[in-house]
Amino acid sequence: MTSQWTQDKYHKKALKEGFRARAAYKLTEIQKRFSIIRDDDNVVDLGAAPGSWLQVLQALTHGRIIGVDLNPIAPMEGVTTVVGDFTTPEVQEEVRELAGGVVSVVTCDAAPKLSGATSYDQARAIALGEDALGFAVTLLKEGGNFLCKSFQGEDFPEFYAEVKKHFRSVRTYRPHASRRGSREVYIIAKNFKRSGDDA
């Protein structure tokens, strides 16, 4: 079980090692365990600000790395950023062009601003995950991978089932770097299967 000391440990470690947020260690742990990113993959990170996952991706792939967020992201070498709403066709087409038409992996560590009302926040988080899944289904190449943060709650099983419709391997994982008491869980979906209904 994580503790307040663990939370402080990851926060201090991020500062010491130059990561923009402690979330960097979640992606590092998931990659070590599930190998979702190969060294030549083009990766799109949704809700990428402030950019800690982009920093990790720099060390994982020599492919194109694209970060998308409503807010500007401080520049970093080897990373292209797009300011905009990833649910819009305009942003999706811009990303497709930047990726040279091939998106191998879509990651999303985004979360809505929390109101404190558990059921409401969980529903908004699931909706955000559904938007990320829609993006992935639209742009991913056949056999591509999808990693998305979600939150446990009454709406989660339905969302998880929807992800399973599009990928041959789907599982959940909670990294050690997650905060104590958080309901967050990550969906690791591998081997995208494009259907005739997918854009």
Q: Is 162 inside a domain boundary?
A: no
pTM: predicted TM-score of the whole model, two decimal places = 0.88
Highest-confidence segment of 31-35, 111-115, 180-184, 192-196: 31-35
Question: Does 101 fall in a domain?
Answer: yes
Does residue 143 lie in a domain region?
A: no
Report the distance separating Cα 194 and Cα 90, nearest Å: 22
Residue 46, Cβ neighbours under 10 Å: how many? 24
The Cα–Cα gap between 33 and 142 comes to: 22
Secondary structure of the chain as H, E, C letters: CCCHHHHHHHHHHHHHHCCCCCCHHHHHHHHHHHCCCCCCCCEEEECCCCCHHHHHHHHHCCCCEEEEECCCCCCCCCEEEEECCCCCHHHHHHHHHHCCCCEEEEEECCCCCCCCCHHHHHHHHHHHHHHHHHHHHHHEEEEEEEEEEEECCCCHHHHHHHHHHHEEEEEEECCCCCCCCCCEEEEEEEEECCCCCCC
Return the percentage of the chain with pLDDT > 70, whole number: 85
pLDDT at 10: 54
Q: Which domain holds residue 8?
A: 4-135+169-192
Asked if residue 143 has pLDDT above 50, the reply is: yes
Q: In what order do the strands lie in the sheet with 65-69?
A: 79-83, 65-69, 43-46, 103-108, 140-151, 184-192, 167-173
Q: Is residue 82 part of a domain?
A: yes
pLDDT digits (tens, 9 = 90+) for 8-50: 565 566 555 544 455 788 999 999 999 999 999 999 999 999 8
Whether pLDDT at 96 is above 80: yes
CB 21 within 8 A of CB 52: yes
Query: Cα–Cα distance between 67 and 190 in angstroms, integer?
Result: 20
Is 113 annotated in the active site?
no
Beta bridge partners of 137: none
Rounded mean pLDDT, 150-168 = 95
Name beta bridge partners: 106: 44, 146
**Residue 31 belongs to a domain:** yes
What CATH number did the domain enclosing 10 receive? 3.40.50.150
Q: Among 74-78, 79-83, 175-179, name the one with the lowest average pLDDT.
A: 175-179
| Residue for token pair 């990113």 | 37
Q: Which of 13, 16, 141, 149 is catalytic?
A: 149
Question: Residue for token digits 């990928």?
Answer: 167
For residue 148, tell me if it sits in a domain. no
Residue 66 has pLDDT above 50, yes or no: yes
Q: What is the pLDDT of residue 31?
A: 97
The pLDDT assigned to 13 comes to 63
Mean pLDDT of 95-120: 90
- φ and ψ at residue 105, rounded to 5 degrees: -140, 140
> What integer pLDDT is reported at residue 180 of this predicted model?
74
Of the ranges 8-12, 68-72, 175-179, which one carries the lowest mean pLDDT score?
Answer: 8-12
Domain count of the fold of the chain: 1
Residue 113 covered by a domain? yes
Is residue 110 included in any domain, yes or no?
Answer: yes
